[in-house]
Structure 1
Amino acid sequence: MTTQPLHSLVLETPAATPSDIHRHYMNKLAMETDVADVQYDRQHGLDDFLLIDVRSATAYEQCHIPGAVNLPSSHIGEETTAAFDKNRAIVVYCWGPACNGATKGAARLAALGFRVKEMLGGIEYWRREGNDVSGTLGQSANLVG
């Protein structure tokens, strides 16, 4: 019985060059932020961005990040964003890692000319990290929609 030599599934596609890898991750960071970074900025008065919760009005009413504005991703358009400053960055969030509402919201906002980042982890990880929330149900609200 002859056996075939094993080959690496990891390396069958060669790794990119360090400069390509650096560019990739810098581009990724330009479009994403995380719960810890948003909380850090808010704690230190660095609020040069508008925080938007793109979940439903009901979910927002029950539990949201204090100071966040509610604009469901399906309602993002020229009329609903007319009062927003296009020179101010926007950070969007939704339910959590399994939700693509923030991704949809970020895409819609970018198409309207806004600079936008998605907050990875959403309200789920905001709460998991012990940060304050507002709303009628607060910490007892559902973690998923």
Structure 2
Amino acid sequence: MTSPTSITGHPVLRVPPASPAAAVAYFGASLAFHADVSDVARALEGDGDPGFVVLDTRSGASWDQGHVPGAVHLPTDLIGEKAAALLDPAVPVVAYCWGPGCNGATRAALALAGLGYQVKEMLGGFEYWVREGFTFETWEGPERRPADPLTAPVEAGDCGC
């Protein structure tokens, strides 16, 4: 009996890689839609205006449990009703929700784009913000946890990527 991989090749290359031109288009588009947690944190740590606003799209209870410092709180379900009062349409928005297992930030980004906002989704959401060791705020004040060595280098300032 012949295994499926011997007929079609190794599973990794069963579907061949995209052409370089297609890869440039795809990965370029991906970067236009997504922001990395560490890049967002680095931009917010600077002295000046980062050029974007961070938007927490979770519930009030989730916000109280912890959020990115300086973020605007606007739950996804309220975007249509309250975005104009809280967000400047001339300023790009970086939206986040809980983490990679949640598509709340994706739904929020879709709603914001539909209203004419430039928007990116923060990959990893609040979960990876905390796991990478960045300061967050709770109803009790600022908090910071040690970086998870599976998500961020423990000894270095950044991952070098």
Structure 1: unaligned runs, 5 residues or longer = 141-145
Deviation at residue 10 of structure 1 after TM alignment: 3.5
Q: Which has the higher mean CA deviation after the structures are superposed, 43-52 or 113-122? A: 43-52
Q: Larger deviation: 52-61 or 38-47?
A: 38-47
Q: CA RMSD in A?
A: 1.9
Indicate the residue corresponding to 1:143 in structure 2. Answer: none
Q: Which runs of 5+ in 2 are unaligned?
A: 145-161
1:91 aligns to 2:74 (yes or no): no
TM-score after normalising by structure 2: 0.78
- Of 9, 12, 26 in structure 2, the residue corresponding to residue 24 of structure 1 is 26
- Identity of counterpart residues, as a percentage? 43
Q: What secondary structure does 2:12 align onto?
A: coil
Query: Structure 1 109/15 Cα, relative in aligned 2: closer, same or farther at 3 Å?
Result: same
Q: Does 1:127 align with 2:130?
A: yes
Greater RCO, 1 or 2 (C-alpha within 8 Å, sep 6+): 1
> Structure 1 length as normaliser, TM-score?
0.86
Quote the Cα distance in structure 2 between the aligned partners of 1:65 and 1:3.
53
> Which one-letter code corresponds to 1:70 in the other structure?
H
Tell me how far 1:110 sits from its aligned partner.
Answer: 0.4
Distance 1:10 1:60 in 2: 40
Partner residue of 1:6? Answer: 7
Q: Distance in 2 between matches of 1:58 and 1:17?
A: 46
- 2:78 aligned with 1:75: yes
- Give me the whole-angstrom Cα distance separating, in 1, the residues matched to 2:55 and 2:143: 19
Q: 1:135 to 1:6 in 2, by over 3 A?
A: same
How many equivalent residue pairs? 138
- How many Å separate the matches in 1 of 2:131 and 2:66? 13
Aligned to 1:118: 121
Higher helix share: 2
Alignment-derived partner of residue 53 in structure 2: 50
Matches within 5 A, 1:98-109: 98-109=101-112
C-alpha displacement at 1:136, in angstroms?
2.1
Secondary structure of the corresponding residue to residue 75 of structure 1 = helix
Structure 1 position 46, deviation (Å): 4.5
